[in-house]
Chains A and B, each alone.
Chain A
Amino acid sequence: DSGVTQTPKHLITATGQRVTLRCSPRSGDLSVYWYQQSLDQGLQFLIHYYNGEERAKGNILERFSAQQFPDLHSELNLSSLELGDSALYFCASSVGVGSPNYGYTFGSGTRLTVV
């Protein structure tokens, strides 16, 4: 157990639907990052939140949005789902921003399948 909790682990939904992925960071971590991993590809950065504020955006579609709540958990909302959104969505957390030499602690991911 990495300390980063992602729910649900698996999600199957139809095209056009909306889903919410949830992430609870490791205790003490203020930063939450979301990444998307399509089949057999590297991870693509989506968005970063620090202590409730959005700090950076990557190649995140307009149909996707995220937020970080006062208790530091984060949710990634995906709407108007398309087949191409099927992927593994990772959440990662870290202590802060630009922390020296820290990698991130990743959750186990949510496998989203759009049918």
Chain B
Amino acid sequence: AQTVTQSQPEMSVQEAETVTLSCTYDTSESDYYLFWYKQPPSRQMILVIRQEAYKQQNATENRFSVNFQKAAKSFSLKISDSQLGDAAMYFCAYRKAAGNKLTFGGGTRVLVKP
């Protein structure tokens, strides 16, 4: 069974600085997708960024970028120029390419200090 691990329960970052969230996963599949979701205090789940395993190029969405290391089964999220609105829980998630369900990590809480 696939598992997703986020080893950092909480991270703190100064406004305008950069923070990196770690995520590792375990799978025997070669084709899959990885996602980062943001959950602010409103509890809404918001897709931040996604990565296809067959793509070597790391995905980027504005201030959010990932470092995808397929051999190491690592998928970290970098938030640059952190803003107060980035404060939230961040969940890493995995899905088999031909699958349906998302498997989530336990989440990392990001605190942004003004």
Contacts and interface: CB of A to CB of B under 8 A. Distances in A.
B45 A100 contact: no
A101 B95 CA distance: 9
Interface stretch (A18-26, A39-47, A65-73, A77-85): A39-47
B106 A41 contact: yes
Interface string A84-100: 00001010100001101
Contact of B101 (A41, A56, A100, A111): A56
B33 A106 contact: no
A90 to B, nearest CB: 6
Interface of B: 4, 33, 35, 37, 42-47, 50, 52, 91, 93, 96-107
Interface of A: 2, 31, 33, 35, 40-45, 48, 50, 55-56, 58, 88, 90, 92, 97-98, 100-101, 103-106, 108-109, 111
